[in-house]
Amino acid sequence: MALEIIWSKRAEKKFDKITIYLNDSFGKSTTQSFVRKVFQSLDILAEFPEIGTVENQKENIRGLTIMKNINIFYMIHDKKIYLLDFFDNRQNPSKKRF
């Protein structure tokens, strides 16, 4: 049974920011490819919620690489997946906010 995915405000804002950047810099095709890859990854995540690596054991936060440069961070609670953030892996790791 697939778990429901709940997007945080931060995740929504980061997703929008990434898609705007991709559209402005690389065009519609690249943006559509990114969006498709994100939602395919989320479909897999909903079916297999523990597929991501544990990033913060105390907070039960997991990470999943969805593209070479982009990770998503999420937590599982009450049979729901809470999507916390998108993170560009080219950034300084200290900028992870979870």
Task: Name the percent of the chain lying above pLDDT 90.
Answer: 79
pLDDT band at 88 (very low <50, low <70, confident <90, very high): confident
Is 96 part of any domain? no
Is 98 part of any domain? no
To which residue do tokens 């599982």 refer? 76
Give me the residues paired with residue 61 across strands. 56, 75
Is 97 part of any domain? no
More confident residue, 16 or 98: 16
- What's the CATH code of the domain at 42? 3.30.2310.20
pLDDT tens per residue across span 56-79: 999 999 999 998 889 999 999 999
Phi/psi-derived region of residue 35, left when phi > 0, alpha when psi is between -120 and 50, beta in every other case? alpha
With 0-12 / 13-18 / 19 or more C-beta atoms within 10 angstroms meaning exposed / middle / buried, residue 74 is buried
pLDDT at 97 over 80: no
Is 61 part of any domain? yes
pTM score of the predicted model: 0.87
pLDDT at 84 over 60: yes
Is 33 part of any domain? yes
pLDDT tens per residue across span 28-52: 999 999 999 999 999 999 999 999 9
Closest Cα to residue 83, out of 2, 26, 15?
15
To which residue do tokens 């906010």 refer? 97
